[in-house]
Amino acid sequence: MTVPHPKSAEPGGTTAPEPVRRPSPWRGQGDVVAVVALGGAIGAAARYGATLLWPAPSAGFPWAVFWINVMGCAVIGVLMVVITELRAVHRLVRPFFGTGVLGGFTTFSTYTVDIQRLADAGHPRTALVYLLATLPAALAAVWLAMVATRPALAWRQR
C-alpha cells in the first residue's frame, strides 16, 4: 500500500492541508543574544581587571570578588528601578546592561570556586565566612540600592 503525497489530491477533489510550521524560538532574538554577549564580554573583562588589581591571597578572604558581587548587585537594583519605574527604555537596554554587563561582572561561579579553594587549602573558617557573608550582602545591596534610588528619582522628577 502506498501513502499519497500530502500535496496530492484527496478523494473528493480537495488537497491535504500543509503541515503547521512553528516559528523558531530564536526568531527575532538575534539582536538580544548579540547585546547580551557584548555586554557579558564587557562585564567579564571589567571583573577580570578588578581581580588583577586586587588579587586574593591564597589563604585570605577574596575581597575583590566579594565586592564585585556586592557592587554589581547594587547596580542591578538601581538599574531595575530606573528601567521599570522612571521611563520606558529601548528593549535592548535591560538585556545589555542587566543580563550582559552586570551578569558578566558579577560572578557567583567564582564565589563557589573560591569557597572550594579555601576549604581545600585548609581554611574552612574563611570559606564558611565567605559563604555566609556574600549572599546576604549581595541581597542587601540590591534592596538598599532600590530603596535609595526611588526617592532620588522622585526628587529629580520634581
Structure confidence at residue 12 as a pLDDT band (50, 70, 90): low
Report CA-CA distances (Å) from 134 to 64, 68, 150. Answer: 12, 10, 25
Contact, 65 vs 46, CB < 8 A? no
Picking from 7-21, 27-41, 85-99, which range would have the lowest pLDDT averaged per residue?
A: 7-21
Report pLDDT digits (tens) over 80-137.
Answer: 999 888 777 888 999 999 999 999 999 888 899 999 999 999 999 999 999 999 999 9
Q: From CA 5, how far away is CA 110, in angstroms rounded?
A: 56
Task: Give CA–CA dist 27/107, Å, rounded.
Answer: 29
